[in-house]
Amino acid sequence: MKTDLRGRVSGRMLCLGIVAVGASVAVVAASPAGAVAVIRPDVGVGTLAGTGGLSPGLTTTPTPQQWIFGASGNVTDANPTGSGVYDCSFSLRSSIAETLAHGAGSGDGSCSGPLYLDLEGATYVRVGTDLAIYANFLASNGSSGHFVAECVYEPDSVPSYISYHLSCGISLEGLI
């Protein structure tokens, strides 16, 4: 099991589940190594899938990139008001010259669904086709917290990666 720069567990999750005990709900995540982490009860979890584009496109030559993508999927939250289908969009820009092997940057995003989420101060780190996005969110119901997306993208174009499909596991810590 790996941890990111913020000390959170990272890596591809094999399964996410929700455990209900009385009036409390806890999110349980199992990692490939079989370790289980119990996350706070105010965490919404879900999956997103979508498409996007890169400009000018990833190659072996280090070049700043602009990432734009949209994804939608279902989020389950302890509070039913926050549960449902969300449509999210992101606009991200490189802070380093990116290659096929790695990249990093910042940007912004939003998600609309049962609640509107303004994703502020988004940052991303990419290694190969694994992309992690971190942001703070402010929801239309006044709640705020942290948005984390662990994504895998699959290029639709080669040799220069300019379009792609992606799938993400997400968590929304603090959504009430």
pLDDT tens-digit profile, the chain (176 residues)? 344 444 444 443 333 333 333 333 333 333 333 333 444 556 889 999 999 999 999 989 999 999 999 999 999 987 788 899 999 999 999 999 999 999 999 999 999 999 999 999 999 999 999 999 999 999 999 989 999 999 998 999 877 788 999 999 999 888 77
The model carries a pTM of: 0.75
Q: How many Cα neighbours within 13 Å face the side chain of 11?
A: 15
Give pLDDT, residue 52.
93
pLDDT of residue 6: 41
Could you tell me which of 16, 9, 25, 5 has the C-alpha nearest to residue 48? 16
Distance CA 83, CA 95 (A): 33
Q: What is the pLDDT of residue 14?
A: 31
Q: State residue 13's pLDDT score.
A: 36
SS3 46: strand
Q: CB-side exposure of 91: number of CA atoms within 13 Å? A: 3
pLDDT of res. 19: 35
pLDDT at 23: 32
pLDDT of residue 160: 75
Other Cβ atoms within 10 Å of 152 Cβ, number? 14
